[in-house]
Structure 1
């Protein structure tokens, strides 16, 4: 299916290039009350977002870390609860790219680059960018930004997906594709694009203040980036290419923020911990990033970020005693970040103290029974300890705060495999792929399960029913191509 779509999308890319290079008059704002779905319906928006997100997952551009993912999701939904509109079904994910950027895809998919969290000085700055992106979604700017030519809309987003596929080995092409999606026909709609940005700023700042963050977080972050542009020359940060910033916009954002009560907002305990996790997971070498954190600590920067980062980097290398020593200051300080006892438990298990580590994970989960990282960390450790039935019980008996995490299905599949339940393993692995947008992968798991002669009649019926359910979600033209392939 991807190969078939690729040929169509590359043709679309050529079409969009020709359209965007032609001279076109600037399009005025649509009349107030004009429905956005005349250009792009909510269903079409969701389909586009799913396709782009699926390609990002497929080519490993999403940094899939349960703890970071939960942090972004919790932060995003905290903001969404205070937005001006009823929030859609947001999906938040971290892009494994060190450059500073964030983007909102049609269908309420919001991506944040790892580089943005590392560049921010405060949690309010990160929240400011996320509130801005959420406003793009709730105001349906992707749909409102289109002209009346439906073909151009479909072709442009097809081109975005094509560029991701064709440039899968080149992050520059992928990020450029996302920029294309955000700046659709930019030359034809400059005034409207600027209006979108100002509207997203206004709504985002209001959301920031209502959610308890520093309302100046957005303005301070963009002002910092604008000041740094002289260091980049022609190589601007990606976020400034997709979200143009000038002194007028910064001044207006600052003026709007000044209209809200000034507050001294401290970063959450998780903010620094997540920055440390990102640094370790993005590092080319665990030993090099360990040396970085050690250097920071030796320079007197005794922050939770550096302490946790060193401990995690040592744990990744299998240096468990050193990791325990590095984590000790955080443990003595009584850090409230749930990631700290989870890391301590992993260190204990690495030291061969499996029962002690499992007991700590169970205690941690009892304290935060709806926290996905605590649930999944305990279940994962139980599977590793050859206690898959207990892991399954943990996964199924704990309700998750913001909906079932994708990795729950992966771990349910792993637990079933460890228990010798092939049909259940294939079923849960199917759900894992399907939730990631990989329909083909989901169907392959079901087909593999159905080929196992030893499964029961009940299991066969269950797999067949799920297969039919998934097939019914696929548009007829795509289904015909999939069946031919």
Structure 2
């Protein structure tokens, strides 16, 4: 039976054990900052929060710079975030989240060609990484490259079971690819072309917005 004496003895032994230092993993730190940005009520205030943290921090920790970059994207200042994410990726290209964030920031700042190149470079390092591949497919769809997006997603989901949201994404990619094929017909009447273009335009609202989403996926394995 557990007595007060045994409890006291156990507590005394525990107090003699050396302290254990628990360090938060880099991936956890990135997830935490991503969630902070996503849940902030004001994009301006979250930008100011990171500016203040970085000013007072003993060094510019990557997780703080990452959060600051995400905050800038959310505040509509993706062009400024590009430099931050580019530097982070240069410093440590083993972090998948840095590739994804840089690609998304480039897309959001009106640099789709550069954004797609970043995603392609990342996927050469991390083939079939689910969050990175999904972000790449979304970027392809924003660039109206539905055929390529559909092929990329098919390759991924033939190897990894998709979620419900990812099934909808590949369906949208297939739909866009079909409209592209229809638009390629040389004998289209103007009203037919307008109808197919309208269908393609209907797909865009269903793509995730340019601000960061699904933090646990984007930082997983990196």
2:109 to 330, 336, 351: 351
Aligned residues of 2:99 and 2:122 also touching (Cα < 8 A) = yes
Query: In the TM superposition, what is the alpha-carbon distance from 1:405 to its structure 2 partner?
Result: 3.3
Aligned residues of 2:146 and 2:177 also touching (Cα < 8 A) = yes
Query: In the TM superposition, what is the alpha-carbon distance from 1:386 to its structure 2 partner?
Result: 0.5
Which residue number in structure 1 is paired with residue 25 of structure 2?
268
Query: In the TM superposition, what is the alpha-carbon distance from 1:264 to its structure 2 partner?
Result: 6.2
Aligned residues of 1:372 and 1:400 also touching (Cα < 8 A) = no
| Secondary structure of the structure 2 residue equivalent to 1:419 | helix
Query: In the TM superposition, what is the alpha-carbon distance from 1:329 to its structure 2 partner?
Result: 4.3
In the alignment, the residues of structure 1 paired with residue 158 and residue 26 of structure 2 have an alpha-carbon distance, to the nearest angstrom, of 21
Aligned residues of 2:50 and 2:64 also touching (Cα < 8 A) = yes
The change in CA–CA distance for 1:326 and 1:291 in structure 2 (over 3 A counts) is farther
Which residue number in structure 2 is paired with residue 298 of structure 1?
55
Aligned residues of 2:150 and 2:177 also touching (Cα < 8 A) = no
Name structure 2 gaps, 5 residues minimum: 1-6, 180-222
Aligned residues of 1:312 and 1:323 also touching (Cα < 8 A) = yes
In the alignment, the residues of structure 2 paired with residue 281 and residue 368 of structure 1 have an alpha-carbon distance, to the nearest angstrom, of 26
The change in CA–CA distance for 1:335 and 1:295 in structure 2 (over 3 A counts) is farther
RMSD: 3.0
Is residue 41 of structure 2 the alignment partner of residue 284 of structure 1? Answer: yes
2:138 to 368, 380, 389: 380
The count of residues paired between Structure 1 and Structure 2 equals: 167
Aligned residues of 2:73 and 2:105 also touching (Cα < 8 A) = yes
Aligned residues of 2:86 and 2:102 also touching (Cα < 8 A) = no
1:361 to 107, 112, 119: 119
Aligned residues of 1:269 and 1:337 also touching (Cα < 8 A) = no
In the alignment, the residues of structure 2 paired with residue 318 and residue 273 of structure 1 have an alpha-carbon distance, to the nearest angstrom, of 21
The change in CA–CA distance for 1:263 and 1:335 in structure 2 (over 3 A counts) is farther
The change in CA–CA distance for 1:331 and 1:417 in structure 2 (over 3 A counts) is same
Aligned residues of 2:43 and 2:75 also touching (Cα < 8 A) = yes
In the alignment, the residues of structure 2 paired with residue 326 and residue 309 of structure 1 have an alpha-carbon distance, to the nearest angstrom, of 10
Aligned residues of 2:62 and 2:88 also touching (Cα < 8 A) = yes
In the alignment, the residues of structure 1 paired with residue 65 and residue 93 of structure 2 have an alpha-carbon distance, to the nearest angstrom, of 11
Structure 1 or 2: more helix by fraction: 2
Query: In the TM superposition, what is the alpha-carbon distance from 1:415 to its structure 2 partner?
Result: 1.0
The change in CA–CA distance for 1:283 and 1:343 in structure 2 (over 3 A counts) is same
In the alignment, the residues of structure 1 paired with residue 57 and residue 38 of structure 2 have an alpha-carbon distance, to the nearest angstrom, of 24
Aligned residues of 1:311 and 1:327 also touching (Cα < 8 A) = yes
In the alignment, the residues of structure 2 paired with residue 379 and residue 389 of structure 1 have an alpha-carbon distance, to the nearest angstrom, of 10
| Secondary structure of the structure 1 residue equivalent to 2:64 | helix
In the alignment, the residues of structure 2 paired with residue 283 and residue 275 of structure 1 have an alpha-carbon distance, to the nearest angstrom, of 12
Query: In the TM superposition, what is the alpha-carbon distance from 1:315 to its structure 2 partner?
Result: 1.1
In the alignment, the residues of structure 2 paired with residue 396 and residue 337 of structure 1 have an alpha-carbon distance, to the nearest angstrom, of 25
Give the structure-2-normalised TM-score. 0.65
- Per-residue CA deviations over 1:332-380 (Å, capped at 9, x if unaligned) read 4225321111111112222322111101101212221232111100000
Name structure 1 gaps, 5 residues minimum: 1-247, 422-485
Which residue number in structure 2 is paired with residue 340 of structure 1?
98
Which residue number in structure 1 is paired with residue 84 of structure 2?
326
Which residue number in structure 2 is paired with residue 192 of structure 1?
none
Mapping of 1:86-105 within 5 angstroms?
Answer: none
Query: In the TM superposition, what is the alpha-carbon distance from 1:402 to its structure 2 partner?
Result: 6.5
In the alignment, the residues of structure 1 paired with residue 162 and residue 71 of structure 2 have an alpha-carbon distance, to the nearest angstrom, of 29
Query: In the TM superposition, what is the alpha-carbon distance from 1:266 to its structure 2 partner?
Result: 4.8
| Secondary structure of the structure 2 residue equivalent to 1:318 | coil
| Secondary structure of the structure 1 residue equivalent to 2:141 | helix
| Secondary structure of the structure 2 residue equivalent to 1:386 | coil
